[in-house]
């Protein structure tokens, strides 16, 4: 056989993979109008409607043949704001419910979208599955690895559609880039570096204060052990407390670690290390504003995540992204496109997203959420293949959680590449699960 030049091969692959991306990601659900069941309206409940959930409520309301019928939040002020906006923009007012568990009793609800603090993601998802609802849950899908196992058990038992909110999996340019990597455009891909850099401010030292009248603090805590209410937790800073959050590596690192893992075509690592700490400020932040986690895989592959929450100096001209190194070249992939370089550093191919996607804000923006929602709805209606099924999302989440465990114990973890379980380290395995408030434990 004649050897095809890399340039010719690249052109061929771009054309082929672009077609794949278009067919699976871009067309809205109305493309299936001739298929039985494709035009049925899907009723969605929003669970957690502040910040990201607030933004996504409008995204679901915009989707073809979708209606937001419930807005659920422990902050009664947020419910009213979302109801008012949907009424103004879409001509209807969804029901408001403080306790989402009451909403689950309504058989007219087909699916739920979950954007609560991390400690509620798995417990709420399991309850929704048990109530017969499809689930779209934000990353990370679990607060600890044991919850990931329970989530997968529930999904298998109840058989509903479950998509995780790592929306770059639905980006046509990313789908195209991964296809090219898998087909050898940069040779054998062996090293992925993911990064996130922001300029977050100090959260200060919180004071114990009276619980606001608008907040159900008991329901907010839910499965987490009870503690006093402080004035620097609600709404966003819970990310940095171990009771409720999972730190920056799960908050943002999940996205890019997932892209690297996808590109390298790896499952769980065999070795995990992490270094870093809380360096920028002395405050209540319990996780790490600076963290470098490394994941080694079979077949001589490695992924490294670098997180800098409080120093926004960009890498490769980006505040976040993934770079994949191969034996014959390099690929840089982010939410707004990709660039492919040969071994000499010459640009071979680049692609830009059709619309600008947000990278560092806390809500989102651009068309990736539209594409991810469309994929979720088409999976419910006509069985379209999910871009981020929970089985796949859970591997990336558990991988990042292992990074936090390695940081916590201060040593290298040896792990099972099939399950992610920590080997020969009982002390580290104590972090595989968590302690729950009595009576709030998730049960499948």
pLDDT in tens, 176-234: 999 999 999 999 999 999 999 999 999 999 999 999 999 999 999 999 999 999 999 99
Query: Hunting for tokens 């879409």 — which residue is that?
Result: 90
Cα–Cα distance between 200 and 31 in angstroms, integer? 42
pLDDT digits (tens, 9 = 90+) for 105-142: 999 999 999 999 999 999 999 999 999 999 999 999 99
pLDDT of the residue at 169? 98
Sorted by sequence, the CB contacts under 8 Å of residue 134 that are 6+ apart come out as 110, 111, 112, 160, 161, 162, 376, 380
Q: How far is CA 343 from its chain centroid?
A: 32
Under DSSP, is residue 348 helix (H, G, I), strand (E, B) or coil? strand
Sorted by sequence, the CB contacts under 8 Å of residue 351 that are 6+ apart come out as 173, 176, 177, 337, 338
Cα–Cα distance between 177 and 191 in angstroms, integer? 15
Instruction: Tell me the pLDDT band of 357, cut-offs 50, 70 and 90.
Output: confident
Spatial contact of 326 and 183, defined as CB atoms under 8 Å apart: no
Point out the least confidently predicted range of 3-17, 261-275, 425-439.
3-17
Query: Hunting for tokens 């790592």 — which residue is that?
Result: 166
Percent pLDDT > 90 in the chain is: 88
- 360 burial (CB, 10 Å; 0-12 / 13-18 / 19+) is middle
Write out the CATH class of domain 25-168: alpha beta
Please give the C-alpha separations between residue 405 and each of 11, 80, 308, 415, in angstroms, as whole numbers: 43, 39, 18, 12
Q: Output 153 or 361, whichever has higher pLDDT.
A: 153
Is the pLDDT reported for residue 338 higher than 60? yes
Write down how long the chain is.
444
Is the pLDDT reported for residue 31 higher than 60? no
Map out the domains of the chain as residue ranges: 25-168, 169-362+389-429
Edge-first strand order for the sheet with 347-352 is 347-352, 337-342, 329-334, 320-326, 189-197, 301-308, 290-297, 271-277, 413-414
Nearest to 191 by CA among 330, 307, 292: 330
For 190-204, b where at least 16 C-beta lie within 10 A, e where not — what string?
bbbbbbbbbebeebe
Sorted by sequence, the CB contacts under 8 Å of residue 263 that are 6+ apart come out as 177, 178, 181, 182, 189, 192, 322, 324, 331, 333
Strand partners, 326: 189
Cα–Cα distance between 357 and 44 in angstroms, integer? 24
Decide if 25-168 and 169-362+389-429 have a common fold. no
Instruction: Tell me the pLDDT band of 18, cut-offs 50, 70 and 90.
Output: very low
Instruction: Tell me the pLDDT band of 33, cut-offs 50, 70 and 90.
Output: very low
Is the pLDDT reported for residue 442 higher than 50? yes
pLDDT of the residue at 361? 81
Q: What is the mean pLDDT of the chain?
A: 92
Query: Average pLDDT, stretch 158-172?
Result: 97
Domain covering 169-362+389-429 in this structure, CATH number? 3.30.360.10
Nearest to 137 by CA among 155, 153, 20, 193: 155
Instruction: Tell me the pLDDT band of 10, cut-offs 50, 70 and 90.
Output: low
């Amino acid at each position: 056989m004649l050897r095809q030049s890399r340039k010719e091969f690249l052109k061929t692959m771009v054309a082929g993979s672009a077609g794949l991306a278009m067919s699976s990601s871009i067309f809205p659900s109305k493309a299936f109008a001739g298929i039985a069941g494709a035009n049925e309206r899907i009723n969605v409940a929003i669970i957690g409607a502040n910040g990201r959930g607030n933004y996504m409520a409008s995204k679901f309301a915009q989707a073809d043949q979708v209606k937001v019928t419930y807005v659920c939040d422990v902050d009664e002020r947020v419910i009213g704001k979302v109801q008012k906006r949907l009424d103004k923009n879409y001509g209807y007012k969804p029901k408001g419910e403080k306790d989402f568990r009451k909403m689950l009793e309504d058989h007219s609800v087909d699916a739920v979208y979950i954007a609560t603090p991390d400690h509620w993601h798995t417990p709420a998802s399991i309850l929704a599955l048990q109530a017969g609802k499809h689930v779209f849950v934000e990353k990370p899908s679990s607060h600890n690895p044991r919850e990931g196992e329970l989530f997968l058990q529930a999904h298998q038992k109840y058989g509903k559609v479950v998509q995780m909110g790592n929306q770059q999996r639905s980006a046509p340019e990313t789908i195209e880039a991964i296809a090219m990597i898998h087909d050898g455009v940069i040779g054998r891909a062996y090293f992925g570096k993911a990064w996130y850099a922001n300029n977050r401010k100090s959260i200060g030292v919180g004071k114990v204060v009276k619980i606001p009248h608008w907040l159900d603090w008991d329901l907010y805590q839910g499965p987490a052990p009870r503690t006093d209410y402080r004035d620097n937790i609600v709404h966003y800073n819970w990310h940095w407390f171990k009771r409720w959050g999972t730190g920056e590596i799960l908050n943002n690192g999940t996205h890019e670690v997932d892209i690297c893992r996808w590109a390298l075509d790896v499952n769980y690592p065999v070795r995990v290390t992490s270094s870093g700490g809380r360096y920028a400020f002395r405050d209540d932040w319990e996780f790490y504003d600076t963290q470098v986690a490394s994941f080694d895989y079979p077949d001589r592959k490695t992924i490294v995540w670098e997180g800098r929450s409080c120093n926004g100096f960009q890498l490769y001209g980006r505040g976040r992204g993934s770079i994949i190194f191969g034996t014959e070249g390099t690929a840089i992939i982010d939410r707004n496109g990709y660039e492919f370089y040969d071994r000499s550093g010459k640009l071979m191919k680049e692609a830009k997203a059709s619309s600008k996607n947000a990278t560092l804000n806390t809500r989102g923006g651009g068309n990736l959420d539209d594409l991810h929602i469309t994929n979720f709805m088409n999976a419910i209606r006509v069985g379209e293949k999910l871009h981020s099924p929970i089985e796949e999302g859970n591997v990336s989440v558990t991988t990042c959680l292992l990074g936090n465990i390695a940081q916590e114990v201060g040593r290298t973890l040896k792990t099972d590449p099939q399950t992610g379980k920590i080997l020969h380290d009982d002390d580290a395995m104590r972090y595989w699960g968590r302690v729950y408030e009595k009576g709030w434990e998730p049960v499948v």
